[in-house]
Structure 1
Amino acid sequence: MGNLGFQEILLIAVVVLVLFGGRKIPEFMKGLGRGVREFNDAKNSVRKELEEGLNEKDNQPPTPSANGVQQTATTTTQP
């Protein structure tokens, strides 16, 4: 896409102003801000639910196996 210079940004701003008019731009920006805020809220709620689920999983006691013996992770080292 390349680097945008001052002239390119000015041209884009003029085109947007001509297409939408001076009154519609604040309404458009307000709607855009609401959309970004809603997206961030949804993202944060999903992140919170995932973290709570992981914490819940980590805090659960080990489940017994079919033979009634609790399984624990052990590591052995050989001399």
Structure 2
Amino acid sequence: MFGIGGGELFFVILIVLMLFGSDKVPEMARTLGKGMKQLKNATNDIKTEIHKTAEVEDIKKTIKDIGNDGVGKDMADEVNKIKEDIEDISGPVKRMR
């Protein structure tokens, strides 16, 4: 545990008890625990945000790669053709109302 042996740990505990007293040590331990919990939560939030950003960047890269292959352009052309066909068919119907 951090390279501290049993005798050294006992000595550190003895010094802490002499400096702060037995009534303050539990309160200090609780405060230290809460601080560590907040640090852990902040670290997890940062990790989550990094993973989300990496996923978004990966999706953008994939879309860009598809566009560079010409597949994306072909799909866009097909969609525009279908839009024009629908406009041609529904144009007179819309005007009749």
Unmatched runs of 5 consecutive residues or more in structure 2? 70-97
More helix by share: 2
Q: In structure 2, do the counterparts of structure 1 residues 4 and 50 end up closer, same or farther at CA, with 3 Å as the change threshold?
A: closer
Structure of higher RCO (CA pairs closer than 8 Å, 6+ residues apart): 1
1:36-55 deviation per Cα after TM superposition (whole angstroms, max 9, x unaligned): 00000000000000100010
| Structure 1 consecutive aligned stretches of length 4 or more whose deviation exceeds 4 Å | none
Q: What's the counterpart of residue 42 of structure 1?
A: 42
1:5-60 deviation per Cα after TM superposition (whole angstroms, max 9, x unaligned): 33322222111101010110001000000110000000000000010001011112
Q: What's the counterpart of residue 72 of structure 2?
A: none
Larger-gyration structure (1/2): 2
Identity rate of aligned residues, in percent? Answer: 27
Match for residue 68 of structure 2 among 64, 67, 71:
71
Q: 1:14 corresponds to which letter in structure 2? A: L
Residue 68 of structure 2 aligns to a residue whose secondary structure is: coil
Q: In structure 2, do the counterparts of structure 1 residues 18 and 52 end up closer, same or farther at CA, with 3 Å as the change threshold?
A: same
Unmatched runs of 5 consecutive residues or more in structure 1? 64-69, 73-79
Once the two structures are superposed, the pairs formed by residues 1-79 of structure 1 within 5 Å of their partners are 4-60=4-60, 61-62=63-64, 70-72=67-69
